[in-house]
Structure 1
Amino acid sequence: MRALPPWLTEPLWDQFAALLPERPVYHPDHPLGCHRRRIGDRIIFDKMLQLLRFGCSYEAIADATCSATTIRSRRDEWIRLGVLARLKQLAQESYDRIVGLVLDQIAVDGAITKAPGGGEAAGRSPVDRGKQGLKRSGMTDGYGIPLGRVLAGANRHDSPLLAPTLDRLESLGPLPDTITVHLDAGYDSDTTRALLSERGLHGRIAHKGEKAPIQASRRWHVERTHTWQNAFHRLARCYERHVTVIDAFFDLADTIITVRSLIRRSWTTHRWDERPNRRP
């Protein structure tokens, strides 16, 4: 079953394959000089997309082409090599070069999702009868392109996660002289304002007790990005137990969101060989 349309899968795979190191088809240390052929990276990559999109288990997605153990081992290999994180970085750089990241307007907010399997980053969820949950403090640019995240237990408040989330800005290179950070009323405190002032950032924070539509500020971009991320069922209901694996799936999801936005926004201004016939 196809997890993504070809106009999105193919450019993702082309760039991903370019980041992979060369591997022999057969294991060179086998005493007889032969062994089972190495499972193709493209097969595992497609399985990873299916895992991310549909949220199924490794055993359910395994078939005659590869086993669940092979998917897990290749996933861990790619995490050690940093391929998924590098893929996300390249997607951001391409988007910034072609369309342009709106870095003078930043939005930060937290989102709580289910984590039935518990794990290193899980905690008691205050909105799900104390069941295990995961909170992500996400940051986006002024359009909604994901820039980074911090994972924590669902029982953590948004405000203490703001500083480590803003630290993700350091990896983006040169930044505008003036940056406005849009926050909801959960961040309305003197501590938050002092934190923003120390970093030379301007804050636009909703006030507690005052009702205001989300459209009144540019905070709705991060809310939309949380919705985009929750469309990947492995993130909305996370059974992974290790933070490194969860981050890897988030990197893959953020890459898909960035490349999809890049193709949609450049469809009317650029031409390329694999350009979709209609605007996606």
Structure 2
Amino acid sequence: MPVLPSSLTEPLWAQFATLLPNRPEFDPTHPLGCHRRRIPDRVVFDLVLAALVHGSGLERIAVPGCSDRTIRRRLHAWAAAGIGHDVFAQALVAYDTMIGLDLTDVSVDGSITKAVGGGECAGRSPVDRGKGGTKRSVLVDAAGIPLHVEIAGANCHDSPLLAPTLAGLSALGPLPEQVTVHLDAGYDSKNTRALLMELGLQGRIAIKGVKAPIQVGKRWPVERTHAWMNGFGKLRRITERSRAVVQFYTDLAAAITVLRRLVNEARKRYRWPGRPTTRRLR
């Protein structure tokens, strides 16, 4: 059974494949003029998706025709080339073209997950007895579509991550005349208000000491988006030590999240061959 429905994997691969460099089937630098055939990128891509969804180690998802070393080499090469970020950006362009991003109300929040192997994105988690953890700061629109993701150690406070997270708005083209940023009480500070004023954004920040249900505002979409992204095993329990690889997995998960929402919304407005009949794409 595939880890994701074909209505998600096929358009994702179509965009992913356009970003891959052209490589010959055989290595032209081999002294004998021959070598083992290069394993197709599509085979490795499907195995990387399986690792992302299930959170399994690469040695567990390797198949007889593709070893875990091959998957790891290809994964690191794709991560170094920034392909995950480019696919995420293209998914956002597709969603904005067909459905439209609602940028009048955006929200930002962080989520801490386990980082059992340590590494460049790990820090002492304040909510897990000081064990290794990673913080994911996400910017979403009014419908919960992820717009930008920043990763850091779990010991990094939400406030310092706000500026680089909001920087993702600059890549989305013209913004509405008034953009309201919804934040929880963890951002209630003078520095946050000064940053929003500098960026020309309105802020609706929960006040410290007041219970959340009374002042929940429109922060719930970002909480739901974190739940969507925590459905990927590699993001719930990070085992990679390289920042580039962790960012690749995060961007790929965000791209899949955007595509899932795009298909769900488009199926109500458009008709196309192979249109999914189920209302919920897992």
Pairing 1:189–2:189 present:
yes
Which residue in the other structure is 2:156 paired with?
A: 156
Counterpart CA distance in 2 for 1:82 and 1:234 is 18
Could you tell me which amino acid in structure 2 is paired with residue 120 of structure 1?
E
Could you tell me which amino acid in structure 2 is paired with residue 203 of structure 1?
G
Counterpart CA distance in 1 for 2:147 and 2:240 is 22
Does structure 1 conserve the Cα–Cα contact (< 8 Å) formed by 2:149 and 2:251?
no
**Offset at residue 215 of structure 1 (A):** 8.2
Deviations 1:112-165 (A, max 9, x none): 110010111211111111101111111111111111122111112111211111
Does structure 1 conserve the Cα–Cα contact (< 8 Å) formed by 2:80 and 2:244?
no
Of the structure 1 ranges 18-27 and 192-201, higher mean CA displacement relative to structure 2 is found in 18-27
Pairing 1:220–2:207 present:
no
Does structure 2 conserve the Cα–Cα contact (< 8 Å) formed by 1:115 and 1:133?
yes
Counterpart CA distance in 2 for 1:218 and 1:183 is 9
Does structure 1 conserve the Cα–Cα contact (< 8 Å) formed by 2:88 and 2:255?
yes
Which residue in the other structure is 2:128 paired with?
A: 128
Of the structure 1 ranges 164-173 and 248-257, higher mean CA displacement relative to structure 2 is found in 164-173
Could you tell me which amino acid in structure 2 is paired with residue 114 of structure 1?
K
Could you tell me which amino acid in structure 1 is paired with residue 161 of structure 2?
L
Counterpart CA distance in 2 for 1:215 and 1:36 is 62
Does structure 2 conserve the Cα–Cα contact (< 8 Å) formed by 1:214 and 1:220?
no
Q: Decide whether aligned partners of structure 1 residues 214 and 113 sit closer, same or farther in structure 2, where only a CA change above 3 A counts.
A: farther
**Offset at residue 188 of structure 1 (A):** 1.1
Q: 1:220-239, aligned counterparts within 5 Å? A: 220-239=220-239
Counterpart CA distance in 2 for 1:279 and 1:90 is 24
Does structure 1 conserve the Cα–Cα contact (< 8 Å) formed by 2:59 and 2:68?
yes
Which residue in the other structure is 1:79 paired with?
A: 79
Of the structure 1 ranges 164-173 and 78-87, higher mean CA displacement relative to structure 2 is found in 78-87
Q: Decide whether aligned partners of structure 1 residues 242 and 258 sit closer, same or farther in structure 2, where only a CA change above 3 A counts.
A: same
* Structure 1: stretches of 5+ with no match in the other structure: none
User: What percentage of aligned pairs have identical amino acids?
Assistant: 56
Counterpart CA distance in 2 for 1:127 and 1:81 is 34
Counterpart CA distance in 2 for 1:215 and 1:259 is 31
Does structure 2 conserve the Cα–Cα contact (< 8 Å) formed by 1:43 and 1:65?
no
Of the structure 1 ranges 241-250 and 24-33, higher mean CA displacement relative to structure 2 is found in 24-33
Of the structure 1 ranges 65-74 and 13-22, higher mean CA displacement relative to structure 2 is found in 13-22
Counterpart CA distance in 1 for 2:278 and 2:241 is 40
Could you tell me which amino acid in structure 2 is paired with residue 165 of structure 1?
T
Counterpart CA distance in 1 for 2:66 and 2:250 is 23
Does structure 1 conserve the Cα–Cα contact (< 8 Å) formed by 2:184 and 2:219?
yes
Of the structure 1 ranges 259-268 and 190-199, higher mean CA displacement relative to structure 2 is found in 190-199
Of the structure 1 ranges 155-164 and 240-249, higher mean CA displacement relative to structure 2 is found in 155-164
**Offset at residue 18 of structure 1 (A):** 2.4
Q: Decide whether aligned partners of structure 1 residues 215 and 186 sit closer, same or farther in structure 2, where only a CA change above 3 A counts.
A: closer
Q: What SS class does the counterpart of residue 149 from structure 1 fall into?
A: strand
Q: How many residues align?
A: 280
Q: What SS class does the counterpart of residue 111 from structure 1 fall into?
A: strand
Q: Decide whether aligned partners of structure 1 residues 5 and 60 sit closer, same or farther in structure 2, where only a CA change above 3 A counts.
A: same
Deviations 1:81-135 (A, max 9, x none): 3222111111000000110011111100011110010111211111111101111
Deviations 1:62-84 (A, max 9, x none): 12020111001111222233222
Of the structure 1 ranges 20-29 and 116-125, higher mean CA displacement relative to structure 2 is found in 20-29
Q: TM-score, normalised by structure 1?
A: 0.96
Which residue in the other structure is 1:140 paired with?
A: 140
Which residue in the other structure is 1:68 paired with?
A: 68
Counterpart CA distance in 2 for 1:79 and 1:115 is 18
Counterpart CA distance in 2 for 1:92 and 1:79 is 19
Counterpart CA distance in 1 for 2:44 and 2:71 is 6
Q: Decide whether aligned partners of structure 1 residues 272 and 69 sit closer, same or farther in structure 2, where only a CA change above 3 A counts.
A: same
Counterpart CA distance in 2 for 1:249 and 1:190 is 34
Which residue in the other structure is 2:242 paired with?
A: 242
Could you tell me which amino acid in structure 2 is paired with residue 185 of structure 1?
A
